[in-house]
Amino acid sequence: MADSSVSYKCPNCGAPLSFLPGKKTVTCEYCGTEFEVSAIEELFRDKQEIATRAAEAQEAKWETENAGSEWSNDEAKALQAFTCSSCGAELVCDENTMATECVYCGNPTMIPKRFDGMLKPDYVIPFKKTKADAVAALKEFYKGHMLLPSNFTANNRVEAIQPMYVPFWLFDSKITAEAEFRAEKHHVINTPKEIITEVSVYNCRRKGTMSFERIPVDGSKKMDDAYMESIEPFNYDDLEKFSAAYLTGYLADKYDATAEESAPRADKRVENSAVEVLKSSVENFDAVRLENAAVVKDVGKVSYAMVPVWILTTRYNNKPYTFMMNGQTGKVVGSLPYDTTKALLYPALCLLVLMPVLYFVIQMLLYQ
Amino acid sequence: MLKKFLSLLALIFVFNAAVTSAARIEPVTDEAGLLKPTEIELLNQKIHNVEQKHKIKIGVVFVKSIGGSDMITASDDLRDKYFSNGMNGGIVLLVAMDKRKYEMATDRRMVERITDSDGIPYLKETFQSELSAGNYYKAVNNFVGGVEELMTYYETNGVPYGVMVKPEGLDPVAAGGAFVLAVIIGVFVRSSLIGSMSNIHHAMEAIDYLKKNTVKLKENRDTFLFMNVQRRPKGGGGRRGSGHSGGGGGGGGSF
């Protein structure tokens, strides 16, 4: 008998589930749930298939070899480089532009050096926001923060904000995604004596193809990834073929994280979004939960682009604070310092005001 | 439905016949023959004393069967017909011997004094074990004693049994609760204020870069696996809501 039985896990409680081929239903010995054998067989066949796809997904690679190109001799001659004596950042600009202070650490000593090459970008998003825009946006950003130290804005050097092209890898991908969801339909029956809730559990399988265009991942190790992801999104309608002319008057960072190194961040985001797209097609259910998923890259191309960012690194209590503005959309991001006294004072005031109110509310509830 | 209605009518008829044959409506009616006449006399006397003292009505009815009717409807009907004219309310204990079930029904005034959430369970505790053991006289005696205790509690404290008594002056429970809640809110406010100082976060999705017109669903299959059924009795824990009619309350069980 044991030889002819096949063991699976119960979808309700996870206990081992055994059934005899040929029977139409099986009941879990542990939780008592009854299943159609055909449904269970189909469920586990699908799981096996998704596991196989997941293995394939790990092997799929991005075509990184065509990203970027070489500079011509004339172009290279017109560029110069500066190195920060403090953090080692290496910035590039045209021969008429000077890097006066490091955008990453605020160090004013930038040592000029010979431009020794970098990959020429494929695309550029030109600056749309001026320095005046950046200063105004930053001042606006400071407003409305109750815990901001009073002397922070006074010594903030907002005017020192600098424009810089940040290197980004843009990932294009066409993918096939498949996923299994556990979905529930709730039906509540009200009888005079009791409330009966029937929860019907379904296995929902979805498979589809979709394309993502130019998912940006910064190619600079010095640039905080969270900052770079926070200034998104970019509008690619303004994307232009790269020309060295766009660097005039601006600094540019050299990439130090390769496309291969940056790809896992794009992969993760694609996977999350693909699953969300499939999940949104699981309709007319009261609860939906992802069981497992596999996202396989059918086509994965990479291009190299320069993206405009206004950057200010300032110091407060010997700690650097960096603020950035998307040079195309004007979105400002940053992390402000907070006054520890204010951070205690405001909650304490809140506590003092709330206590009598809560006292009477609790009394009312206790002795109603 | 009709069968239930006829059963209820029959029960009321039997009870009517019993009470009208007596000189007055006595609190204890034993249609199941479980109590001796002397015991009934003693219980009636005790109940009369409690009724006068607390200005309430108490009824105890033993029947062999309530037919096809349900205990809640039957006890409510007895309460409304014979025991609801007490100044401070009325309560009925109905015991059906065929099903070995009992049900207490309180009217809208009594439910304010003996609550479904605390008072009724307290009463159950006083007599259920005696009922199970077949000590019917003791069970009724304990039930009446329980009702008197709960009425005395209400008259002394101004609130029904189970509801906390408001202390005079500063209430340490409310003060402690208010302090703890205020601290929790304060910590939440502090975290929110500190959190608002930064808008830096990692991007977890790439939905902004999805080409919407490229999404093609190739498989879309929903397979039913199983069904779970959850049953929840109505009005289990509140001060009211036991399913009794007329704004009253009550509760029962098996013995």
Tell me the pLDDT tens digit for each residue of A275-329: 999 999 999 999 999 998 999 888 888 999 999 999 998 888 888 889 999 999 9
**Same domain assignment for residues A117 and A223:** yes
**Same domain assignment for residues A161 and A28:** no
**Same domain assignment for residues A113 and A162:** yes
> Using CA atoms, how far apart are residues B172 and B156, in angstroms rounded to an integer?
22
The token duo for A91 is 């910035």
> Using CA atoms, how far apart are residues B58 and B146, in angstroms rounded to an integer?
12
The token duo for B132 is 């199970």
Of B71, B41, B46, B58, give the one whose Cα is nearest residue B255. Answer: B71
**Same domain assignment for residues A235 and A261:** yes
Choose among A208, A270, A278: nearest Cβ to B206.
A270
**Same domain assignment for residues A20 and A105:** no
**Same domain assignment for residues A103 and A240:** yes
A269 touching B (Cβ < 8 Å): yes
ipTM: 0.78
Choose among B206, B218, B225: nearest Cβ to A208.
B218
The pLDDT of residue B18: 46
Which domains are delineated in chain B?
A: 2-164+238-254 (3.10.310.50)
- Using the beta-carbon criterion (under 8 Å), do A281 and B163 form an inter-chain contact? no
Contacts of B166 in chain A (CB under 8 A): 363, 366-367
**Same domain assignment for residues A80 and A114:** yes
Residue A289 has phi, psi (to 5 degrees) of -135, 135
> Using CA atoms, how far apart are residues B136 and B95, in angstroms rounded to an integer?
10
In a domain, A259, yes or no: yes
In a domain, A63, yes or no: no
> Using CA atoms, how far apart are residues B202 and B205, in angstroms rounded to an integer?
9
Q: Mean pLDDT in each 10-residue stretch from start to end of chain B (255 residues)?
A: 50 49 69 91 94 94 88 90 89 92 93 91 93 93 95 90 80 91 94 94 92 93 90 61 76 87
- Using the beta-carbon criterion (under 8 Å), do A358 and B219 form an inter-chain contact? no
> Using CA atoms, how far apart are residues A337 and B207, in angstroms rounded to an integer?
32
In a domain, A18, yes or no: yes
Q: What is the mean pLDDT of chain A?
A: 85
Q: Quote the percentage of chain A above a pLDDT of 90.
A: 44
**Same domain assignment for residues A306 and A354:** no
The pLDDT of residue A120: 85
Give the C-alpha distances (Å, rounded to integers) separating B206 from A172, A216, A239, A277, A308: 11, 9, 18, 11, 20
> Using CA atoms, how far apart are residues A226 and B201, in angstroms rounded to an integer?
5
pTM: 0.66
DSSP 8-state class, residue B117? T
Q: Three-state SS string across chain A, please?
A: CHHHCEEEECCCCCCEEEECCCCCEEECCCCCCEEEHHHHHHHHHHHHHHHHHHHHHHHCCCECCCCCECCCHHHHHCEEEEEECCCCCEEEEECCCCCCCCCCCCCCCEEEECCCCCCECCEECCCCCCHHHHHHHHHHHHCCCCCCCCCCCCCCCHHHCEEEEEEEEEEEEEEEEEEEEEEEEEEEEECCCEEEEEEEEEEEEEEEEEEEEEEEEECCCCCCHHHHHHCCCCCHHHCEECCHHHHCCCEEECCCCCHHHHHHHHHHHHHHHHHHHHHHCCCCCCEEEEEEEEEEEEEEEEEEEEEEEEEEEEEECCEEEEEEEECCCCCEEEECCCCHHHHHHHHHHHHHHHHHHHHHHHHHHHCC
| B202 or A2, greater pLDDT | B202
> Using CA atoms, how far apart are residues A242 and A305, in angstroms rounded to an integer?
8
Predicted confidence band at A104 (pLDDT cuts at 50, 70, 90)? confident
Predicted confidence band at A133 (pLDDT cuts at 50, 70, 90)? very high
pLDDT digits 0-9 by tens, A13-58 = 878 777 666 667 888 877 878 788 777 777 777 777 777 777 776 6
Check pLDDT > 50 for residue A3. no
Choose among A174, A192, A338: nearest Cβ to B194.
A338
**Same domain assignment for residues A237 and A256:** yes
In a domain, A195, yes or no: no
Amino acid at A294: A
| A77 or B19, greater pLDDT | A77
Q: Which domain holds residue A323?
A: 73-173+209-269+300-337
Residue carrying the six token digits 């092997």: A59
The pLDDT of residue B20: 44
Mention every residue, 6+ apart, whose C-beta is less than 8 A from residue B145. Answer: B126
Q: How many helices (H) and strands (E) does chain B have?
A: 6, 6
**Same domain assignment for residues A118 and A255:** yes
The pLDDT of residue B129: 92
In a domain, A120, yes or no: yes
How far off is chain B from A96, nearest CA to CA, in Å?
A: 34
Tally of structural domains, chain A: 3
Residue carrying the six token digits 């019917």: B136
Say which range, A85-94, A258-267, B22-31, has the weakest mean pLDDT: B22-31
pLDDT digits 0-9 by tens, A172-187 = 999 999 999 999 999 9
Of B250, B255, B242, give the one whose Cα is nearest residue B91. Answer: B250
- Using the beta-carbon criterion (under 8 Å), do B201 and A226 form an inter-chain contact? yes
| B46 or A77, greater pLDDT | B46
**Same domain assignment for residues A113 and A8:** no
Residue carrying the six token digits 């020429």: A120
How far off is chain B from A27, nearest CA to CA, in Å?
A: 10
**Same domain assignment for residues A160 and A32:** no
> Using CA atoms, how far apart are residues A326 and B23, in angstroms rounded to an integer?
96
pLDDT digits 0-9 by tens, A191-232 = 877 889 999 999 999 999 999 999 999 998 888 899 999 999
